[in-house]
Amino acid sequence: MFAVLAKYRQAFLVGLQSNIVYRWNFAVRGFFSLFHLAVVVILWSAAAEGRTELGGFSLNQTITYFVTLLILQFFISAFNEDYQISEEIRNGLINQFLLKPINYFAYRFSIFVAARLVSGLLVFAPLLIAFPFLREYLDFPADPRVYALGLPAMIMSALIQFSIAYCFGMLTFWFLEIQGFVILSMAVETILGGQMFPLDLLPAWAYAIAKWLPFYYQMYFPAAIFSGRITDPAVIMQGYAVQAAWVVALLLVNHALWTRGLRRHTAVGG
């Protein structure tokens, strides 16, 4: 068991090193997300003008939600994992894994965890700069239990995020170019993952449907818990169950795509 873990620990450490090389890229990206945050503050402040609430939440709670989302993005979002996997398949780099006792999914996931650890910690630098401006808007829940409840949701979200990216990477076995699919699905994820607006602002029927989709659990669910939009423990428990089901389903799809894809794969050269 430990020997198995040691392999992936090495992959994690290599991932950590190679991602620290890109620290400036992450930092710049974090800095630019402050502009996005500025758009959010300007838009939602204007929408809330002369009102005390938006869909049952104050302006500050709404802005807090978007700040949480930003932090979560840097901790759990798949950035370019889909392209990296796609590249490795196209270039034949995966061939080396076929001959070794290494599980490709676990290998990539270890690197993903390392990458998000680096980018997640780096996002606090621009946020710290913006903190004096943001402070008046922030309204995080005071109860520490909220964060304990959010953590499992966040971990499962990371798994869903990575699994979806992995699925798209696997499509390279069938299609040469996956960029179109990725950006298309990004549009769906942006809306249904709650990145444009908190999903509870959707009409009740649409929200009820969204709750059953994986996108809800890849970003919105943990963000809503951390920012105090979902507080009922029963709702959170039910959310865990659906989220866990999606994790399992996506892992199965990943496995199926991998085994089927390999049948089509032709390894050339050495």
Partner 1 sequence: MLHYAQIWFASARYSITRTLMFRGDFFVWAFVELFWMAVNLLTISVIYEHTGSIAGWSKYEMILLVGTSLLIQRFLMGFFWSSIFEMGRNIRSGHFDFFLAQPGNVMFMATTRKLDPDSLVNSLIAAGVVIYAARQLGLTPSAVEITLYALMIACGVIIHYSILVLSISVAFWMTSAQGIEGTYFTLTEFSRLPRSAFKSRATQWLFVYALPVVVVSNTPANALIRGFDGRLALWLAGAAAAWFALAVFVFNRGLRRYASASS
Query: Quick one: 194 or 239, whose CB is closer to partner 1?
Result: 194
Is 98 strand, coil or helix? helix
> From the CB of 188, what's the least distance to partner 1, in Å?
7
Contact criterion met (CB below 8 Å) for 109 and 162: yes
How many angstroms separate the CA atoms of 189 and 128, rounded? Answer: 28
Nearer to partner 1, 2 or 35 (CB): 35
Minimum CB separation from partner 1 for residue 6, in Å?
35
**Which is closer to partner 1, CB of 53 or CB of 143?**
53
Name which of 40 and 170 has its Cβ closer to partner 1: 40
Can you give the binding site for partner 1, defined by CB under 8 A?
Answer: 25, 28-29, 32, 35-36, 38-39, 42-49, 51, 54-55, 177, 180-181, 183-184, 187-188, 190-191, 196-197, 201-203
**Least spacing, CB of residue 248 vs partner 1, in Å:** 28
- Considering the complex, what minimum distance in angstroms separates the CB of residue 33 from partner 1? 8
Between CA 265 and CA 174 the distance in angstroms is 9
Distance separating alpha carbons of residues 47 and 40, to the nearest angstrom: 10
As a whole number of Å, the CA-based R_g of the chain is 20
For the chain, the maximum distance between any two Cα atoms, rounded to a whole number of angstroms, is 68
Neighbouring CB atoms inside 10 A of 94's CB total: 23
**Sole residue written with tokens 């390279």:** 172
Give the shortest CB-43-to-partner 1 separation in angstroms. Answer: 6
Nearer to partner 1, 153 or 167 (CB): 167
